[in-house]
């Protein structure tokens, strides 16, 4: 696994770099050697934020954590990534090539039982249908707030494409626009 480390508002010391390499390289047992893990560390006020993104075979595994200590953030984000990989192992295995995971290593830690029972997996239990009214992003944000939802699907009046607006953890909004390849 290749690790690409970058920092924002932060001078990455050798000990911090070594800690990230040591911890993130442990995830290398799940992936082949050519997979890249992109690690971004930043400091915003008292918050020490680490974001790890691992794209492979059309799937992206991503986690972000923030605490008042960068070393604690590193530990928390790695725990979160391992949980995601374990939780979605069977789903990822069905979706991607069998060669994505190295040596078909079981994705669990010792002492934690792993069951491949498909009944425990989340499933779609409800489908909603609604008319898409053309509107701008600001109106969509207002509609989302009025409904009390954390996201809202709408047709963008300027581009005539389906967009999603969502509420971010920092209280701001994010806009997802489709990009066709």
Tell me the CATH number at 23. Answer: 3.30.160.100
Residues 112 and 157 in one domain: no
Beta partners for 111?
Answer: none
Q: Give the domain-ending residue among 81, 96, 120.
A: 120
Residues 84 and 171 both lie in one domain: no
Q: Is residue 7 part of a domain?
A: yes
Show the domain range for 160: 134-176
Summarize the chain as % helix, strand, coil (round to 5).
35, 30, 35
- Contact (Cβ atoms closer than 8 angstroms) between residue 64 and residue 51: yes
Ramachandran sector of residue 49 (left: φ over 0; alpha: ψ -120 to 50; beta: rest): beta
Please indicate, yes or no, if residue 33 is contained in any of the structural domains: yes
* Per-residue model confidence as pLDDT tens for the chain (181 residues): 888 899 888 888 899 999 999 988 888 887 778 888 899 999 988 889 999 988 877 677 888 899 999 999 999 999 988 888 777 666 655 554 455 555 555 444 444 444 444 556 778 888 888 778 899 999 888 888 877 788 999 999 999 999 999 999 888 999 999 888 7
Asked if 68 and 14 touch (Cβ cutoff 8 Å), the reply is no
CATH of the domain at 147: 3.30.505.50
Number of independent structural domains in the chain: 2
The answer to whether position 44 is within a domain reads yes
Give 5's contacts (C-beta < 8 A, 6+ positions apart). Answer: 12, 17, 20, 21, 39, 41
Note whether 134 and 157 are within 8 A (CB). yes
Q: What is the pTM of this model?
A: 0.56
Report the C-alpha gap between 137 and 147 in whole angstroms. 15
Give the whole-angstrom CA distance, residue 65 versus residue 50.
6
CB atoms within 10 A of CB 120: 10
In a domain, 129, yes or no: no
């Amino acid at each position: 696994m290749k690790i690409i480390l970058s920092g924002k508002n932060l001078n990455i010391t050798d000990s911090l770099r070594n800690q990230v390499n040591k911890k993130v390289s442990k995830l290398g047992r799940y992936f082949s050697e050519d997979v890249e893990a992109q690690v971004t560390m930043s400091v915003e006020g008292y918050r020490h934020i680490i974001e790890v993104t691992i794209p492979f075979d059309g799937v992206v595994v991503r986690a972000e954590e923030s605490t008042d200590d960068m070393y604690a953030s590193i530990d928390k984000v790695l725990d979160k990534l391992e949980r995601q990989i374990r939780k979605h192992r069977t789903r990822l295995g069905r979706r991607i090539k069998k060669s994505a995971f190295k040596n078909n290593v079981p994705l669990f830690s010792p002492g934690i039982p792993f069951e491949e029972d498909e009944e425990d997996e989340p499933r779609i239990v409800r489908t909603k249908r609604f008319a898409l009214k053309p509107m701008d992003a600001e109106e969509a944000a207002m509609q989302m707030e009025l409904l009390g939802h954390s996201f809202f699907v709408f047709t963008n009046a300027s581009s005539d494409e389906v967009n999603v607006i969502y509420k971010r953890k920092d209280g701001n909004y994010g806009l997802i626009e489709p990009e066709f390849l």
